[in-house]
Structures are given as C-alpha cells and as structure tokens.
Amino acid sequence: MPEAAELEQRLADIAAAIDWPSTPPLAGRIRARIAARPARPWFQARWAVAAALALIVLAALLAYPPSRDAIASWINVHTTFNRQNVIPTPSPPPSGPLGERLGLGQPTTLAEAQSRLAWHIVVPASLGEPDEVYLQMPPAGPPQGEVTLVYSPRPGFKTSGQTGVAVLVTEAAGQPDAQFFGKIIGDGTTIEQVTVNGHPGYWISGRPHDFFFDDANGNVRDETLRLATNTLLIDDNGTVIRIEGDMTKSQALGIANSLS
C-alpha cells in the first residue's frame, strides 16, 4: 500500500495536469438574467417582512394596556409606564353608561367592591350612600384597585358640567405625589394645603385636569380628573382620596370630615 504522504504528493502533481472542461461564458448570461429581474426590494425579503411583522405585533402588545403591563412586569420596568385614562371632559354631551363615559371601571356595589379590595373604603356620611359605585382593578386601574363613589345632584350640590354627576369620591391605595403638583397648577388653578381629620390634604381650585399619585407599588401614576372641577386630595394614611365636584372648599372639607 503506498504511503499516505506519497499518495498525496501524486495527487498534488496531477492537479496541474488535469484537463478541465472549458468554462462557458457565464458572466454575460448571469448579468443578463439579474438585469431582467433586479434583486428583491427589501419588503420582499423574508427577513424584512418577518422583522416588520414582529414590530407590528410588539407595537400592538404595547398599545394594549393589559399586555403592556405584563411586558413591563417581565422586563422589570416599573416606573416608566404612566397611564393616562383618556376620558371626555365635561364638554361633550354625555351618552352611554356613566362608568364608561368617565372611565371609572365596572359598576359594582360597596359590599362587592370592599370584598375585592385589601384596603378599607371610606364613605362620606354627609352625602350618604353613593348612587353608583365603580371599581377599576389592574391593569386598567392602579395596583390594589380604585373605587369611585358617584353622587348625583342633591340640595346644595350642582351638577358638574354635563356629566350628570355632582360629586365623585375616588379612592386608591397610595399617596399624593407633591413633586408633580407643579403640573397640576396653572391655567387659573391654585393649590392649598389643608388638614382633614389630622391627615394632610390639598385643596385644588380652578380647572385641574391631571392628578398624580404614587400607587401601592411606588410608581407614579398619572390620572385624569374626571370632572375638571375643584378637587380635594387627602392623604389618608396609605389611601389617596380625591373628592371632585363643583363645590366650595368648605363643602369639600365638610364631605371629607364625614368620611368614615
């Protein structure tokens, strides 16, 4: 048997001696073919289509609050997804259920709402039982949920705009974020620190639209004030309560002091 090295040498010697068939004139023909049908534009390339579809899916997931929150939770981003509930201000004529119009969540009863919340709902004795109760749970609502008590007009309390509502009392776990009060003030709005039953509060008069508070997870939450009227904020020891309505400061404080 010949040595491997010897065989390899003989093979190498043959290389130069091989009579290869002559190469046909490929370059010209290939040029003609690619000129007749140029390279695919990017949108026909499979990878580009796949990438575009992935972006569309991602955008759709981020646009939809439940999946956006889930993604935020997976990637451990907790502070950058502020939500602003887009709700009509009092100007357009109301239509549809009140909770939907004002973005308050699902209609419920006090007892049922309480059964789903870890914190205690307070009710203003001066106004009595609310006419309607709404509950907004995450992901649309803040962590640990948000409850809204709706009061229709009654003696001494006017309707706010065209909402058909006189007073809204909204409660959520968290605390007012004074660092954003600068964003609330403006456009004829003033803010005044008050005390309600020993708890710090803020009387915001004018037409405030935005409201910021630190939710139960410590994230800043940006919400729209439903009635865009005078608002009393109360830092009720872990629960942030806001009382909105077309009313005076003493009326608001009267409601606040009757909360229990």
Partner 1 sequence: MRPMEGRPTDGELFSRAQRGNEDAYEEIVRRYQDIAYRIAYVITGSTADAEDAAQEGFVKAYRALGGFRAGAEPRPWLLRIVANEARNRARSSGRRHQLELRLAEGFRPGEAAPSPEAAAIAAEDRRVLLGLINQLGEEDRLVIASRYFLELSGEETAAALGIPVGTVKSRLSRSLARLRLRVEKEAHA
**Footprint of partner 1 (CB under 8 A):** 1-2, 4, 7-8, 10-21, 23-24, 26-27, 29-31, 33-35, 38-40, 42, 45, 47-48
CA angle at residue 163 from 158 to 164, to 5 degrees? Answer: 55
Q: How far is the CB of 59 from partner 1 (least distance, A)?
A: 24
Q: Give the three-class secondary structure for 183.
A: helix
Q: How far is the CB of 147 from partner 1 (least distance, A)?
A: 56
Q: How far is the CB of 99 from partner 1 (least distance, A)?
A: 52
Residue closer to partner 1 (CB basis): 55 or 62:
55
Residue closer to partner 1 (CB basis): 6 or 187:
6
Separation of alpha carbons 164 and 156, rounded Å: 15
Cis ω before 155 (30° cut-off from 0): no
Residue closer to partner 1 (CB basis): 18 or 111:
18
Separation of alpha carbons 235 and 102, rounded Å: 23
For residues 228 and 211, the answer to whether their CB atoms sit within 8 Å is no
Q: How far is the CB of 103 from partner 1 (least distance, A)?
A: 47
Residue closer to partner 1 (CB basis): 26 or 75:
26
Q: Give the three-class secondary structure for 6.
A: helix
Separation of alpha carbons 56 and 48, rounded Å: 12
